[in-house]
Amino acid sequence: MSRCIIHADLDAFFASVEQLDNPDLRGRPVVVGGPPESRGVVAAASYEARAYGIHSAMPMRTALSLCPQAVRLSPRFQRYADISKRVMDIFRQLTPLVERISLDEAFLDVSERVSKGCSPEEAASTVKERVRRGVGLTVSVGVASSKSVAKIASGLNKPDGLTVVSPGGEQQFLAPLPVQSLWGVGPKTAERLAGDSITTIGDLAGKSEE
């Protein structure tokens, strides 16, 4: 039996919790992080804020210069932890095989559920619907036969995405994607690889180990 792994990633988690708790913030650019005067950085940005080029780890001063109308909020880590626990409990109702990676993401092994007749798409849709109904947040999910491919898949159609990579289709799915889609390949590594004409995962796969 082929494994069926779901990577579930809550969308813009900290910012989404703030919009959940304060309906006035919904549809507005929200950035969570320290104040600009104390060299604060962005811990999370809503998708409305991301439209202005704001991203995590950006200096808050830069973020607010890109979007002066953004609402800056200090993090409420205990609240995020409470919501995360509720989400993980929902995951464990679907399968006992849950590997939490951080407050806002986890792997779920739903191989047994699929072996009993549930399709991978149905399993993923159930995850999304249970989180939406139980907590009020959206989650993007990727489904594949391995954790690494599932994680890449979950990031492709955010927010609220669902991407399934069928067993045997991994190579075709991965080949055209940018090499930095791989877990652990950051900007510096991608730059070095580009120097060797490696810009996609397919380029990398075609090279020798050396």
Q: Catalytic residue numbers?
A: 105
Cα 19 to Cα 50, 90, 137, 156, distances in angstroms: 15, 21, 10, 23
Residue 176 in tokens: 């055209």
Q: Quote the tokens at residue 100.
A: 């939490």
Q: Can you read off the two tokens belonging to residue 78?
A: 């205990």
Burial class (CB in 10 A: 0-12, 13-18, 19+), 185: middle
Q: Determine contact, residues 128/160, Cβ cutoff 8 Å.
A: yes
Residue type, 5: I
Cis peptide, bond prior to residue 159, ω within 30 of zero: yes
Task: Judge contact between 88 and 70, C-beta under 8 A.
Answer: no
**117: buried, middle or exposed (CB in 10 Å: 19+, 13-18, 0-12)?**
exposed
For the stretch 48-56, contacts whose Cβ atoms lie closer than 8 Å and that sit 24 or more positions apart, written own/partner, are 49/15, 50/12, 54/29
